[in-house]
Amino acid sequence: MSYSPIIDELIDALRCLPGVGQKTAQRMSFQLLERNRNGGLRLAEALQEAVEKVGHCQRCRTLTEDEFCKICSDARRDSSLICVVESPADVAAFEASGDYRGHYFVLMGHLSPIDGIGPEEIGIDLLVQRVKEQGVEELILATNPTVEGEATAYYITEQMRKLGITVSRIAHGVPLGGELEYVDSGTLAHAMKGRRRID
């Protein structure tokens, strides 16, 4: 169904969000217009300010409105560790766990030759430069356990091997609280290969 041009434009604009289809965008639009116009204005202002002012950290490439993000600016973090992730959302996930106290490097994607995404497009040259300059002792690869993520991890490992840097890969396996019958076969295979001896 077609509404007024302005409503149609709002619905279409909301569809740019991941996982938001036509019906969801329509519900969101009507919610903002019928019940929460103040919320809609606040959303519009916050979105405009974020788009205009948020950029990338000059060191780790995560999202920030400053030259360096809070993590890179924190002198208490361990600069000998760098965790390589694919997106700023991955940084947020690790930070929510509260266990990692090193630094990050955000690739903003993964290697995908079919899509024309090579090492330069995801900043591997910048990562190599940073490792050399920062005196990194260990690089932790936390790319996604997909074909592209694994290929990216392998490529980075080869680059770090030339520099003599210790490289580790995060473990992949059965989630805490998960039941084996519901875990996919690829995850089970990773869990079996990554098993450890109990002392």
pLDDT value at residue 198: 66
pLDDT in tens, 86-126: 999 999 999 998 889 999 999 999 999 999 999 999 999 99
- How far, in Å, CA of 43 to CA of 19, rounded? 19
Query: In this model, does residue 186 exceed pLDDT 90?
Result: no
- The average confidence (pLDDT) of the chain is 92
Of 7-16, 60-69, 100-109, 164-173, give the lowest mean pLDDT range. Answer: 164-173
pLDDT value at residue 83: 96
Average confidence (pLDDT) over 70-90: 96
Place of tokens 């994607």: 109
Number of structural domains in the chain: 1
12 within some domain: no
Look up the domain containing 135 and give its range. 77-169
pLDDT in tens, 120-162: 999 999 999 999 998 899 999 999 988 999 999 999 999 999 9
Taken as a whole, the chain contains a residue count of 199
164 within some domain: yes
CATH code, 108: 3.40.1360.10
34 within some domain: no
Query: In this model, does residue 29 exceed pLDDT 80?
Result: yes
114 within some domain: yes
